[in-house]
Amino acid sequence: MLKWAELIEREALALTVLGVRDNGTEFSMAFKAEAGSAAATIRYYGEAIDKLYGEIAPTADTHLGLIHREPVGVVGAIVPWNFPLMIGAWKLGPAIAAGNSVVLKPAETASLSLLRLAELALEAGLPKGVLNVVTGRGQVAGEALALSMDVDVLVFTGSGGVGRRLLEYSARSNLKRVYLELGGKSPSIVFDDAKDIAQAAKVTVNGMFRNSGQVCVACTRLLVQRGVHDEFVAELAKQAAALKVGDPLDQTSQIGAINSLRQLEQSLGFVETAQKEGASLYRGGNRILEETGGYYMEPTIFTGVGATDTLAQKEVFGPVLAVTPFEDEAEAVAIANGTEYGLSSGVWTSDLSRAHRMIRAVRAGVVHVNTYGGSDLTVPLGGVRQSGNGHDKSLHAFDKYLDLKTAWIQL
């Protein structure tokens, strides 16, 4: 695995370009978030292999109770088109380090970089058959994998709709364990005691609009306390307007292309719905650079979005931000927790006690305080509620790929 990580680093540029041409993510983000992250992930789990071992239970003197950790066997992994290398590596790293074989199915619109990743694994000496990448449509290749009687654990990152189906496939086949990393409608909550409005707006714009908002943890709902609402939104719009949208392979582009026409149309559809439901289009809302033949959209901000409006409840997976004002902490918590999701969240405040109260009160797998989008391999990422039931990254990810086996020995 260490050799594999080395090879990924060696080919980082080519791998990134391959992925960017496939899925449209801006190179300026993908280089680090895709190839860089994949190499670091494979290395991290390679180094972790000999840090995992069993336990001796404190049983009565007459018996010895041993707890072994065993590989589950065959892991099926189904991943989405946004960040295929990063998300793929988050599954492959712990699954392979734990001693399993993996069959991985990439998304239809982003298979190339993962196919190359698998070739590099062979080159690094991973035994043939340990990592298999099977491309194809979700309803064909994905369904076959999920229904297979030979797959012991299924790990998935993608939409809630497909996640539901996977649970059904498991029930209809061999009751394989299914771990889901799903979507979100993550709130970023700005209190009027936030220390640095300009910095908060800058971080929020990046947390929301990079990769055209096609990020599961994007802070797609901005809740702003009334005292700073107008100032914050104006600053946000200024920062959003300054982002350069364009050719994903141009290193100066801060936002690349939307993955497919379907995704673009979906985002434009949300703009229409939000307007119909009475929200105010503060900036953006349009397809741009159409003459290039690419799918680009302006960073879009809606204000006055009601907490139960479609734009506040449904995942867009595009560059459309919903801004909702609030009065006090209780209302902020109620709005923040008022969706079916619970992936990520952010709190901007200079009140330490409030920060701790919010960490407890917000129902999400991740709470950021005075930052957004923090990322490190040592820290787990996962959601609660309908955002999923498993964690990628960190040593905790191993739990998905290992079975516990108990041995009793009479002394």
Tracing tokens 């789990």 back to the chain, one arrives at: 45
Q: How far is the CA of 267 from the CAs of 252, 271, 323, 369, in angstroms?
A: 24, 7, 16, 28
* Cα angle 262-265-266, degrees, rounded to a multiple of 5: 85
Binding flag, residue 235, ligand NAD (CB under 6 A): no
Q: Is residue 182 within the footprint of ligand NAD (CB under 6 A)?
A: yes
Secondary element (H or E) of residue 56 = strand 55-57
Which active-site residues does the annotation give? 181, 216
Site for ligand NAD in 93-152 (CB under 6 A): 105, 107-108, 138-139, 142-143, 146
Query: Judged by CB under 6 A, which of 317, 326, 341, 401 binds ligand NAD?
Result: 317
Distance CA 386, CA 334 (A): 17
373: contact with ligand NAD by CB under 6 A: no
Give the tokens for residue 231: 């100032």
Please tell me whether residue 91 binds ligand NAD under the rule CB under 6 A. Answer: no
Q: List the one residue from 26, 34, 181, 309 that touches ligand NAD (CB under 6 A).
A: 181
Given 25, 157, 212, 303, the residue binding ligand NAD (CB under 6 A): 157
C-alpha 118/C-alpha 84 separation (Å) is: 12
Closest by alpha carbon to 83, among 233, 222, 212, 236? 212
Q: Which is nearer to ligand NAD, 186 or 239 (CB)?
A: 186
Q: With binding defined as CB under 6 A, does residue 77 bind ligand NAD? A: no
Residue 46 interacts with ligand NAD (CB under 6 A)? no
Q: In this structure, how many other beta carbons lie within 10 angstroms of the beta carbon of residue 254? A: 18
Q: Does 315 bind ligand NAD (CB under 6 A)?
A: yes
State the number of CA atoms in the 13 A half-sphere of 310 facing the CB. 15
Residue with tokens 């290395």: 43
Comparing CA positions, the residue from 164, 190, 8, 3 lying closest to residue 86 is 8
Query: What binding mask, one character per residue, do residues 192-221 give for ligand NAD by CB under 6 A, x or -?
Result: ------------------------x-----
Q: Total residues at the site for ligand NAD (CB under 6 A)? A: 29
Q: Which is nearer to ligand NAD, 78 or 245 (CB)?
A: 78
The only residue of 24, 36, 46, 80 in contact with ligand NAD, by rule CB under 6 A: 80
* Residues that bind ligand NAD in the complex, under the rule CB under 6 A: 78-82, 87, 105, 107-108, 138-139, 142-143, 146, 157-159, 162, 165, 181-184, 216, 315, 317, 343, 383, 388
